[in-house]
Amino acid sequence: MNTPRATRRALLVGSLLLLAGAAQAETSTQDAIAEYREMFGDDNPAELWQSRGEALWHTARGPKQANLTACDLGLGPGVIEGAYAQLPRWFDDTQQVQDLETRLVSCVTTLQGIPREEFLKVKFGDGEKKSELESLTAYVVAASRGKPIALPMQHPAEQAAYALGKAVFSYRAGPHDFACATCHGDAGKRIRLQELPQLTTAAGAREAYTHWPAYRISQGELRTMEWRLQDCFRQQRLPQLKFGSEVAIGLTMFLAKNAEGGTLAAPGIKR
């Protein structure tokens, strides 16, 4: 690995960490969030997405004029309590390992008859344009608050998804030859003001995973795990992560498994 490329990478990581060092004296992200909490108490604006999601869940819509109360998220039709704590998982009807977001898409398309492309037109909200997927996600996720993450992991396809996610996590690619592990594989790393969680340890993965999806203060939007992952693909200068792809599900499976036993506290609040 003593290529000029590896040297460039080492230099770049080095300078990123130098930048981080310089910033350490200033207010850290953690402090900013603590400050926000002081102003707003424990009120999380994510509740707006939750109640929009709850309304969407119970409203008859689409060509089939059905609501989503027959949606099976893994624990049986209509059961949302604790469902998120066991995702991603294998689903017989779709013959796929699905995360919460892709499962919601399946329910919307099959139960309500709304075409996938139409439903996903706004998959990540943007100011006035709110995303139905983000609202539904917030509603379902909140129903797993306080539950420990416990994945079934019996089906070979679930184990294969985990193995794929694990491999992608340390696969170096892109113009900087970065892997997820470059930024998230060690303790105590930072970029500018942002602390980089070590996602390969149980403690680090739990701290991160149990708070996502989250309301992002800087964006005024609730963001899902698929959003989080595609944003890190962008940080890694990789081609855009395809929504619902095997790589997206695999990475989610890897993170969820590493975080197993952690108690869900999502939707959280992030900078």
In terms of CB distance, is 62 or 165 closer to ligand HEC?
165
Contact region with ligand HEC (CB under 6 A), list: 2-10, 39-47, 78-86, 195-203: 195-203
Residue 271 near ligand HEC by CB under 6 A? yes
Residue 201 near ligand HEC by CB under 6 A? no
Q: Of the candidates 28, 71, 36, which has an alpha carbon nearest to the alpha carbon of residue 214?
A: 36
Contact region with ligand HEC (CB under 6 A), list: 49-57, 60-68, 89-97, 192-200: 192-200
CA 52 to chain centre: 19
Residue 200 near ligand HEC by CB under 6 A? no
Q: Which of 108, 120, 138, 229 binds ligand HEC (CB under 6 A)?
A: 229
The whole-angstrom separation of Cα 194 and Cα 188 is 11
Contact region with ligand HEC (CB under 6 A), list: 43-51, 120-128, 141-149, 231-239: 231-239
The minimum distance between CB 113 and ligand HEC, in angstroms, equals 33
The minimum distance between CB 86 and ligand HEC, in angstroms, equals 19
CA distances from 191 to 204, 211, 236, 269 (A): 17, 20, 13, 19
In terms of CB distance, is 119 or 227 closer to ligand HEC?
227
Residue 232 near ligand HEC by CB under 6 A? yes
**Other residues' Cβ atoms within 10 Å of the Cβ of residue 211:** 16
Residue 270 near ligand HEC by CB under 6 A? yes
The minimum distance between CB 266 and ligand HEC, in angstroms, equals 11
Residues binding ligand HEC: number (CB under 6 A): 21
Q: Which of 159, 194, 201, 263 binds ligand HEC (CB under 6 A)?
A: 194
The whole-angstrom separation of Cα 45 and Cα 219 is 12
In terms of CB distance, is 107 or 183 closer to ligand HEC?
183
The whole-angstrom separation of Cα 100 and Cα 141 is 9
Q: Shortest Cβ contact with ligand HEC: which residue?
A: 180
Residue 184 near ligand HEC by CB under 6 A? yes
- Chain position carrying tokens 């993450």: 149
The whole-angstrom separation of Cα 75 and Cα 78 is 8
The minimum distance between CB 8 and ligand HEC, in angstroms, equals 14
| Cα angle value 113/252/103 (rounded, 5°) | 15
Residue 233 near ligand HEC by CB under 6 A? yes
- Chain position carrying tokens 């930024």: 183
The whole-angstrom separation of Cα 226 and Cα 144 is 18
The whole-angstrom separation of Cα 249 and Cα 235 is 19
CB 152 within 8 A of CB 86: yes
The whole-angstrom separation of Cα 87 and Cα 137 is 12
Residues at the site binding ligand HEC, with contacts judged by CB under 6 A = 178, 180, 182-184, 191, 194, 196-197, 199, 208, 228-229, 232-233, 235-236, 251, 255, 270-271
